[in-house]
Structure 1
Amino acid sequence: MVSKQVSESGGDKEEETVVEIDRVTKRYGSLVAVNDVSIPIRDGEFMTILGPSGAGKTTLLHMIAGFERPTEGEIYIDDRPVSDEPPNERNIGLVFQSLALFPHMTVKENIAFPLKMRREDPEDIDGQINEVLELVQLPVDYKNKPVGDLSGGQQQRVAFARAIVYEPTLLLLDEPLSSLDKKLREEMRSELTRIHAETDLTIVHVTHNQTEALSMADRIAVINGGALEQLAPAKEIYAQPATPFVAGFIGDTTMLDGTVNRIDGRRAAVAVGGGEVTVESDDRVTVGDDVRIALRAEKIALDHDDVDADNAYEATVEQVAFEGDQTQYTISVASLDAVIDVTHQDPDPETVFDRGDVITAGWDAAEVFVYNQ
């Protein structure tokens, strides 16, 4: 394995890299599906590759698995270049969105299949199956059930068991939870997190679902248009998005375009519509720059009267969506010529607003992300 110095917030630390995606590009004719992407994946890490449909994340996963070959660059597993190796020589477990279980087989037969393909000792197979069923918390007496008789969540557990029973170097997950209903999806997220903690498996997970990514991943690689937008720990991705795309894709965010009017120390005034927004400034912006600012929905305060914030504006409530534990508002701010999304989690009935209410909306300068255009 390769030892690398990987820099993160909190300092440099030495980590063993199990998988190295090194300047990988994949072309299909004139279409560039993956463009010069480099990602080191650490031993025991839960890495999520996150992006919208068509971003290139599944193509990247398929190249790691061996189903596709890079046009340029190389992929290393345990410091070994594998682009010319077939999938069966890479010691990788894989769970597809469709699960790809064998419907004519029992639970035991499904899980035993990769062991038999690897010519494991038949006398050991039953014990290995019992151990992995215990790990995925499926009763051992389910072994002889046809997989078609199981619930969706139980089938998920069988798919995970089959993928890890032979102790692969790497487990690849291709949107395995996307077809589940909300409650079962949340349950399986918890199960995956538990299995990862108990086994210390190295996992690469592909999804378009930001909640899955933020709740399970150690680090997230955000992919857009085949390119890597940001690679960072989950909390950093949310709190310090590196690009406008990341800011807009992660969380509920309103994007506003403006021009820097003036700078006063560590603050800048950005002209937006017919008004101004105060933001925190750094050396990257100067007077006259065209910028894009991003506002998180949960960082915006609403009140019938005044809001104590660096930025406060009269606003009109345009839409209200009550969601039980929170309320989603769409407000219009005429002075900024802007429509802004707001998430409100205050259960106080005095802070509930109706469509058409004229209120005050505000946020602090520190809550605004600023990007050069």
Structure 2
Amino acid sequence: MRDALTRSLLDWYDANAREMPWRVGPTDRKAGVRPDPYAVWLSEVMLQQTTVAAVRAYHQRFIAIWPTVGDLAAADDAAVMAEWAGLGYYARARNLLKCARAVVADHGGRFPDTYDALLTLPGIGPYTAAAISAIAFDRASVVVDGNVERVMARMYAVQTPLPAAKPELTALAAALTPDTRPGDYAQAVMDLGATICTPRSPACGICPWMSDCAARKQGIAAELPKKTPKAPKPVRRGVVYAGRRPDGAWLLETRPDKGLLGGMVGFPGSDWAEVPEDTAPPADARWQDAGEVRHIFTHFHLILLVRAATVEGPAQRGRFTPANAFNPRDLPTLMRKVLNAALAALPPLERTPDTDVEDT
């Protein structure tokens, strides 16, 4: 049964593979073209908890600026963090640099080609190691993301809810993973989940595995996989200070390397807590309320009270970035929201820098 399922899925993939900047399609792969492990690794890190649509432009820009892992390893930390801004989950960007430097320092600038060796690199966990070893090096590794879990849950009508079902779904995926074309197979299962076996309204009528799918036979495909209800996210609050000098310079600081938005540039403010402590403003000025901004993180909702002011004197915290050196796109999405709230509250400059940006 495994061989028949593999053949039917690969035949489908040969005709329907999604085109992605980092992917070598099945036709080229059969002709001997091999994926660039650096491009595959970069895509897998960027795609963690992020959609393909959001990642495409970032991936293309990173490859244009830093074409090789050696180029990335030699890059300035602030430049990489600035290019990552807006993509979220900023620990990934810090690990990206650590991993690139480890590949250069410990592996001569070449990614190791086995699952176990890839696992030793910073920021690479079991899923990423399996994906890189399969896609870049054609190893028969078991690649299981959310799409694959959904396909397996439906193929075998697994009733156990996630996340408890993960070991069972991984075992089922392992049983189907072939030795022939494992890289294409791994991408084929993910494409199947992303385009046909979708979370809502799966297109069972055009699925290459339609006749073997237990959930379709039982009429419960759209109900699977089941999921354990999540607890409501707590709400944290804080205060953030957006100060601007009359010459257009903004008062900014680099956040600590550890923690949310670590290493990113942003506006000074308080800690984020259910009941935040009072925090002194970063400079003497007539601070005014500029409204609230809201942001959703993985584990909590955040509400920040924005205070804005024109700052005439020196700052006790942070540093002023001149208007001609300030690029709003270097800010993470949360801080862009703060910036736009501040711009709406502050009086216009005599020559206003073009700093207003849309949220991403």
**TM-score normalised over the length of structure 1:** 0.26
Say which structure is richer in strand: 1
- Between structures 1 and 2, the one with greater helix share: 2
